[in-house]
Structure 1
Amino acid sequence: MKSIFRPALVLFAALTLMCGVLYPFAISGIGQAAFAAQAGGSLVLRDGQPVGSALIGQAFSSARYFWGRPSATGPMPNNATSSGGSNLGPANPAQIDAVKGRIEALKAADPANAAPIPVDLVTASGSGLDPEISLAGAYYQAARIARERKLTVEQVRSMIAERSQPQYFGFFGEPRVNVLALNLALDQGQY
């Protein structure tokens, strides 16, 4: 019996050490050395203090700010420890009600806006953590932001264009803009 258990325990200990200790430390070290900002959470700093992450969306509710994509994470929006979509299909009554509520909120915040509402402003993503919205989603909100901030619509549209990011590798996805970057620029008067 000893001849069976001893090699099994030695192998178990060796694999635990390699896979549970050495490998994670090595990968973490490589990540910190090669991609320090990303490994540290892609934190966005303002006056030396973290105000968010470039990779995780935040909930903005004031009419003075751009609103990001809705989050389906629980128990609170944009909860990075609970990443995941709602799994509600397009015909699910709960999904339909949620979208209708979001449409009503957008219309209540900007009643004069007759433009079609971009889908990313009323539906959550698969991760529920999107930090970015489409350019259409940002431009849709430009008039409200301009009115609330006493700016011209052209100033806000120009700010969006300056911070827009192209498709990944030139063909994946669509052009987009980071909501936190827009809102920080608004607060800093960078339009």
Structure 2
Amino acid sequence: MSSANSIKGLTQWQDLAKNSTVAPKDGKDAEPWTAFNNGQNAMFMAPSWARWSVDKSKTADLGAFALPGTDGGAAPVFAGGSDLGIAAKSKNQDQAFNLLKLIYSDDYQKLLAKNGLGPANSNFTSLMGTDEFAKAAISAASNSKLTPTSPNWAGIETSNVMEAFFGKIASGADVASTAKATDAELEKALNASS
């Protein structure tokens, strides 16, 4: 978070958060389509499945595009975010493994894609369709980055470290010192012994 390029981007994002949005400053915009449905904003950022949360009377005005990057293509985003795995202390590891095999099977991945949801297997993205929602989702996914390979990543998600970080930045906190402190917090959490 505290690299020079990150500070530059976060500073620009802070300006957007201050001057160009009605989103909550606390980073807890769990349902960003609500303000759109209520006529309070003209757009929102969300995963492709969020289109089904938009009030049907407003869908005629709904479009989609991948978050733009600085190079003219799609910006890098996290792929997924949540981890699928088998708990070391699970009493049903064989059943859990069978579930994972089902989720990652070609048939299930095709089912996700055919229903407009991003499959984990990029071989099936063409099944998502050709509308602007599918194109935006495919574009974003094609430039995605995986979450850190630490077994502690799930703890990062549940602790809301990132939401708190962006909430502080949106509320006007010093970008450099907040990024440095968050780096230290992430480093400690990701490398903690289990």
Sort the TM-score into its range (normalised by shorter chain): under 0.3
- Tell me the TM-score normalized by structure 2: 0.24
Q: Which has the larger radius of gyration?
A: 1
Q: Which has the higher contact order (CA 8 A, sep 6+)?
A: 2
Structure with the largest fraction of strand: 1
